[in-house]
Structure formats: C-alpha cells, structure tokens
C-alpha cells in the first residue's frame, strides 16, 4: 500500500470535518450536536497544522543563498548583474 501524502492527509481531515458537520446537523440533542461540531473543529485544526508543518518543512528544504552560491560558483546578484549587461 502506498504511503499517504500530506495533501491526502489534509484532504482526509477536511472530509472528516465535513462529516462531523453533517452529523451535527442531523442531531436533535443539542449536546450531541455540540460534540460533533467540536470534533469537526478538531479535524479542521489538524488539517491546518498539517499544512503549517508542510510549509515549514518546505522552507527548511529550500536552498539558502549560501547553498546557491556554492552550487553555482557565484551569487544570484552576480547572475542578475551579468544578465543586465
């Protein structure tokens, strides 16, 4: 079985949140309705946290200016100046 991606996990969290909202809407008991809405909010929070972690991970994997200079042998500023002339 394939390992789920973060986007799959986020999509599943959003699906679960939607299911909770639908369950809440069908409840006659106000306490049960509130419980389903709270659980749905937790699913939404989890989806947000997954997206934040993905964004932070992506930032940490982006090459720094130093990495770009090392890889190309010159800085991006040098490349920009060369392209202008």
- Provide the residue ranges of all domains of the chain, joining segments of one domain with +: 6-84
The answer to whether residues 36 and 27 touch, using CB atoms and an 8 Å cutoff, is: yes
Give the model confidence (pLDDT) of 28-62 as tens digits. 999 999 999 999 999 999 999 999 988 888 777 76
What is the reported pTM?
0.63
List of residues 6+ apart from 14 with CB closer than 8 A? 43, 44, 47
Burial of 54 (0-12, 13-18, 19+ CB in 10 A): middle
Distance (Å, rounded) from C-alpha 35 to C-alpha 19? 13
């Amino acid at each position: 079985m394939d390992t789920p991606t973060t986007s799959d996990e986020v999509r599943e969290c959003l699906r679960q949140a939607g299911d909770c909202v639908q369950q809440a809407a069908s409840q006659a008991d106000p306490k049960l309705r509130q419980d389903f809405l709270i659980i749905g909010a937790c699913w939404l929070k989890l989806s947000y946290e997954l997206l934040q972690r993905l964004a932070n991970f992506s930032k940490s994997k982006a090459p720094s200016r130093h990495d770009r200079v090392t890889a190309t042998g010159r800085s991006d500023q040098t490349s920009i100046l060369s392209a202008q002339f």
